[in-house]
Amino acid sequence: MQTFKINSSEFTSRIENANLSRAESAYAILQNAILKGLLNPGQKLDFETLQTEMGYSSGTIREALTQLKSDGLVQNEVRRGFTVAEVSLKEFLEITELRCILEPLALTKSIEAGGDDWESNLVLAHHKLTKLEKKSSEAIGLPSIEWPSAHKKFHEALVNSCPSKNLLVMRESLFKQSERYRFLASSMSSKKRNPIKEHKDLFEAAVDRNSQLASTLIIEHLNQTAKNLHEILVDKRLAS
């Protein structure tokens, strides 16, 4: 029988404290397992095994996997069923190229249109992210299960005053697709980064309404991740 390296009890208290539904907690556990590499690219996700190891119903597991599919972390093929999405260097470089166009555009429009509520939400999102990043920097291992959500909310807070809904939809899709690769870059790279400073500089440029500097910083932020991951995937031959 297939087994996975998932220990859901590791996250139980944190999930309960976050007041998540069963489907949301199953999603968080599986997302974390994929991002950490506990579930390998191309690995089949067997419902029976996941039910046994995670303690959730098949319906809950299916709902979580469907959400992960929309995030680009899981694939669903006829006859094969659900599998962990493959890692593709070409795809990641394409995603980064597009993000370097859309992120600065959305950020500039958001800074121009953002009012007091936008700034207040951004301050709160940055504060929460910084607290988690400080805890992660003091701990051994990868970021906590709460980190991906806080990171996503911070980057969303930067752009959520952008008046173009179509632009925001395209930007969100690319962000979700890039998260797995970003996590690989941060967890496997031997090069040290300072995400606290990177996010602080980006935050300060935004609240200072310096859209030119903020655009430059977001592009540098994205390209540094791309550079680190390119070296990892090529050296370790992990991607097609």
Which distant-in-sequence residues (6+ apart) come within 8 Å of 144 by Cβ?
14, 132, 135, 136
Give the pLDDT confidence score for residue 13 in this predicted structure: 43
Same domain? For 221 and 114 the reply is yes
72 domain-assigned: yes
Same domain? For 111 and 222 the reply is yes
Same domain? For 76 and 129 the reply is no
Give the pLDDT confidence score for residue 115 in this predicted structure: 96
Give dist(CA 221, CA 175) in Å, integer: 13
Give the pLDDT confidence score for residue 147 in this predicted structure: 81
Give the pLDDT confidence score for residue 190 in this predicted structure: 55
Q: Identify the DSSP state of 190.
A: S
Give the pLDDT confidence score for residue 229 in this predicted structure: 80
Give the pLDDT confidence score for residue 204 in this predicted structure: 98
Q: Domain containing 172: what range? A: 89-236
1 domain-assigned: no
Q: What is the CATH number of the domain that holds 65?
A: 1.10.10.10
Residue 166, judged by CB atoms within 10 A of its CB (0-12, 13-18, 19+), counts as exposed
Give the pLDDT confidence score for residue 156 in this predicted structure: 97
* Residue of 200, 226, 227 whose CA lies nearest to 214: 200
- pLDDT lower than 50: segments of the chain: 1, 10-11, 13-17, 139-140
Give the pLDDT confidence score for residue 25 in this predicted structure: 85
Give the pLDDT confidence score for residue 162 in this predicted structure: 98
Query: Number of folded domains in the chain?
Result: 2
Give the pLDDT confidence score for residue 38 in this predicted structure: 79
